[in-house]
Structure 1
């Protein structure tokens, strides 16, 4: 089954130079009464002006990937880590029991564009930790690149059965999923920027996505496109009460 998720389902938030579009992927299945989809809790696509400060704030029981395509941000956290995050340095904050951080976009980096991704951990109260990873190249052209997940072959570790990859698919190139999308595995194909044809009858544009279950479609780039692929084990164990990744049940009941 292939389900398109368009931008009308998102929640927008703008405060000064800080703007995000929030996707709760579970809202496409309101009958499940969960704003997340299995381990995928929430995806924020951000557009932040240089010099914007996001003050020190808490997280709890969230696995948080910062994935930038442009801009630079100065990171500081309660585990005493500080570094410059960019489109060649990724950061995974495994918030666990309690964690605080602040971010300030740097003037010299230009406008920040990227994702902040909230994944559900397997259980609550895990030890807080921070991971960084330097990418050899900004873009992985026309092939899937492993970013974060469970397993030694993923550079950033997620503490649940969740796997993230990315690619830049150049115009007129095609790609398939890196796995067979078999029973109890689902994939969320998130298009950050560009235009993609899914099989022959579905087109998605910047910010949209498709949820794929028990199928292996062909994706064709109608224009050069930046993609993040989420894979989750739908029957895996996960904790659904994280501060940001958790189930926001009031949203599933909105309008009912």
Structure 2
């Protein structure tokens, strides 16, 4: 089963130099009464002007991936972690029971564009921690790259049965989904930038995605396209009361 998610389903917010389009993937399954889909709580596609400060603010019971395509950010948090986030140096904040952080968009990095991804943990009240990982390249050409997930073969760890991968698919190239890391998995195929044709019929452009529950479609790049792939085990245990990843009962 393939379900297209176009940009009309997103919520837009703009405040000063901060603009974001918010996707609650569960909205395409209203019968489930959940704004998230399994362990995927919320996906923010942000564009932020250089020099913008996002002041110290709390998170609880969210597994948060900061995935940048452009821009640089100085990070500071309540666990005394500091670091620079970029399109090669990505970050996961396992917020746990109680966690605060602030982010400052560095002027020398230019305009920031990226995803802030809120996954759901297995359970509430976990110990907070922060992880950084420096990737060798800014993108992976025509091959799926493991970014974050549960398991030692993922450089950044998420504390639930959730996985995140990416690739850059060159114009004219085709690809299929990677092997599922577990049984009962669903895939959310997200076009960060570009244009993709799915099974020669469905077209996805910037910010659009498709939820794949049973099919094994073929994807062809109509132009060079950056793709982010979310995988969730749909019957796995997860806590849906997180501060941002939780169910909003919309």
Q: Distance in 2 between matches of 1:57 and 1:182?
A: 35
2:232 maps to which residue?
232
Q: Distance in 1 between matches of 2:119 and 2:181?
A: 19
Q: Distance in 2 between matches of 1:101 and 1:181?
A: 31
Matches within 5 A, 1:22-37: 22-37=22-37
2:145 maps to which residue?
145
User: Which ranges of structure 1 fall in alignment gaps of 5 or more residues?
Assistant: 252-256
SS at structure 1 position matched to 2:243: coil
Q: Distance in 1 between matches of 2:139 and 2:147?
A: 12
Following TM superposition, by how much is the alpha carbon of 1:180 offset from its aligned partner in structure 2, in angstroms? 5.3
1:64 aligns with 2:64: yes
Matches within 5 A, 1:42-121: 42-121=42-121
SS at structure 2 position matched to 1:13: strand
Q: Distance in 2 between matches of 1:44 and 1:112?
A: 13
8 Å CA contact 2:191–2:226 kept in 1: the answer is yes
Matches within 5 A, 1:185-200: 185-200=185-200
Following TM superposition, by how much is the alpha carbon of 1:140 offset from its aligned partner in structure 2, in angstroms? 0.3
Following TM superposition, by how much is the alpha carbon of 1:215 offset from its aligned partner in structure 2, in angstroms? 1.0
Q: Distance in 2 between matches of 1:182 and 1:211?
A: 17
Following TM superposition, by how much is the alpha carbon of 1:183 offset from its aligned partner in structure 2, in angstroms? 5.8
1:10 aligns with 2:38: no
2:179 maps to which residue?
179
8 Å CA contact 1:140–1:168 kept in 2: the answer is yes
8 Å CA contact 1:61–1:126 kept in 2: the answer is yes
8 Å CA contact 1:196–1:225 kept in 2: the answer is yes
Q: Distance in 2 between matches of 1:183 and 1:152?
A: 18
Q: Distance in 2 between matches of 1:33 and 1:19?
A: 27
1:222–1:119: structure 2 CA closer, same or farther, 3 Å change rule? same
Q: Distance in 2 between matches of 1:126 and 1:18?
A: 30
TM-score normalised by L of structure 1 = 0.96
Cα-Cα RMSD: 1.0
Q: Distance in 1 between matches of 2:128 and 2:244?
A: 15
User: Which ranges of structure 2 fall in alignment gaps of 5 or more residues?
Assistant: none
Q: Distance in 2 between matches of 1:47 and 1:168?
A: 20
Q: Distance in 1 between matches of 2:199 and 2:83?
A: 41
1:148–1:27: structure 2 CA closer, same or farther, 3 Å change rule? same
Moved over 3 A (4+): 180-183
1:220 maps to which residue?
220
Length, aligned pairs only: 250
1:254 maps to which residue?
none
